[in-house]
Structure 1
Amino acid sequence: MGKSNDENAVKRRWNRKRPSCDKIKILPQRSLLYGRINVSILAAKKRLKKAKRSNTQGIYFRQETAVSPGKTMIPVINGNELSHEWTEHVYPSKFLMMCLNTIQNSLENVGALKTEDGPLFANTWGVEFWNCYSKGKDLLEMSGIDSTREQIAWMASAAADTITRKENEGLSFKSPFHLFLVPSLDKAFEVRLVWKPLETIGIYTLSLHSGTTIEKQIHRLKSCEPEFLVSTPERLLDLLSLKAVDISEVSFLVIDGLEAPFEGSYCEAIKSIRQLIPGNPQTVVFSDGMSNLSISMLQKLLGEPE
């Protein structure tokens, strides 16, 4: 029998030539890993059916937007409650599960993730996020203004899965697919920590912030061709003004730490960046509780380029 599409995707990514990127290692015993994942998924599904769920109101801020995944979501647009189980047509791929497992193993090894919290693929927020992401929905997460490592892992794995699937269909990416905007240097380091393990399967990332010189970051952008970018808005705008980075192919945008009312330099920088991304990228926003007025302001902030 031939190799699976997921295995071929990993091998193809591994064989790509990247002159200045760090050396990486192939994951061992991948077929055994898939077997363990399949068994664990079935057990996780049973646990999820029995899990207690809290209620929180949800609203749409575009046509396809849900609020606070991981809790009961009641979209105002139709009043139907979203499921807390995998939906039949959007079941995560083995490649996505492998990404989650890779991240979890790496973070646990450095003490950045607690083993007792359970496997990432059974994370309730992750299940709801995937059900929404796979349907092309934008998400407004109001349970916390700051994304968690588990949430970052799920978003990164979903983006990696999308990239690999599209490449299997014959598409290619010449600029970053996933852009993660953060309000601080410390948050950029945290996101980078979660993303870095994905380099073992060919997903390269770059962190842009004031902690490193622009010259060094320009060199890395040219030599590494990252699929993922995590950046403070101010540094990204500096690099965009120098035409050192291209965000025209960004299809998945995450905005972390957005506080209402949407004013100040952080929000203005986000607005400027959004205007430079063509089309309508799928978006996740982590923000504090907001009124109807601030929802309207968020719509304007994240509106399509003029």
Structure 2
Amino acid sequence: MAKRNLSTVTEFILVVFTDHPELAVPLFLVSLSFYLVTFLRNGGMIILIQVDAQLHTPMYSFLSHLTFLDACYDSVITPQILATLATDKTVISYGRCAARFFFFTICAGTERYLLSVMAYDSFVAISNPLHYNMTMTPGACRVFLASAYICGVSRAILHTTCTFILSFCGDNQINFFFCDLPPLLKLACSSMTQTEIVILFFAKCMFLANVMIILISYMLIIRAILRVKLAGGRAKTFSTCTSHLTTVVLFFGTLAFMYQRSNSEKCSEEDRIVSVFYTVIIPMLNPLIYSLRNKDIKATFRKVIGKFQFPTYVAFDEGPSS
């Protein structure tokens, strides 16, 4: 029986940063700026939704949780990148690797289920707006949110357990910038084990289930839009869900690319670029995507900014004193 990796590997080495040491400072500055922008944008979005009572609706409740998850899983990955670039310390302990993998999987998995819930919410809002408040009640919204988090945590427990009971023999160099599933599976002693089959089968089944829910929701949305008689009304109705559709395409597109290449023998430059995209770029872009095409968010932002404007004082000429 193969020994568990806890007795053979106590740390991992992130070798991706050692290829081009001259890029350490530029990469640190870029990563830090992206992280600060992501944190400020997502935090600002959450604050805007909380301060305006008009935004206390199911759609914006789901959006606030989406931005919260974006900020969380970016905070799991980016500080490790910054610490590695700043200190040139590429070694990460077995426990820290497992912990970061666990929390990252929770955030990414929960966001995947939440995007499916948001697709259903858009379908209900467009297909039957008169009964929207009766369907998406506060209790129903809490159930949807709780289900998304429960599914995300369950998925993280399964993936983390199955991944870190694998046997890692000798090679502990991760050709990646964080402990992600594909590079960890490539370090396992055997090329294909029952554990890998369970992980990949469960991940791909859940991925397809989320994609099917979103596809069916948008098929029904398109059918409802086609029933609108006026062309201008169709465009206005469809524009309400274009932000969500853009986020879905970016998020699920990058995940599909990673799952497709999870069995390849090498982690190529394309893998690293795509992983940066869904761990750093997408969390930074999501608040911008939703705010640019949302009149309510823009109005709330102008209202909040207006409260901090200082009054303008006009000096009047009192004329000569008598």
Higher CA-based Rg = 2
- TM-score of the two chains, using structure 2 as the length reference: 0.25
Q: Which structure has the higher relative contact order (CA within 8 Å, separation 6+)?
A: 2
| Structure with the bigger percentage of strand | 1
| Structure with the bigger percentage of helix | 2
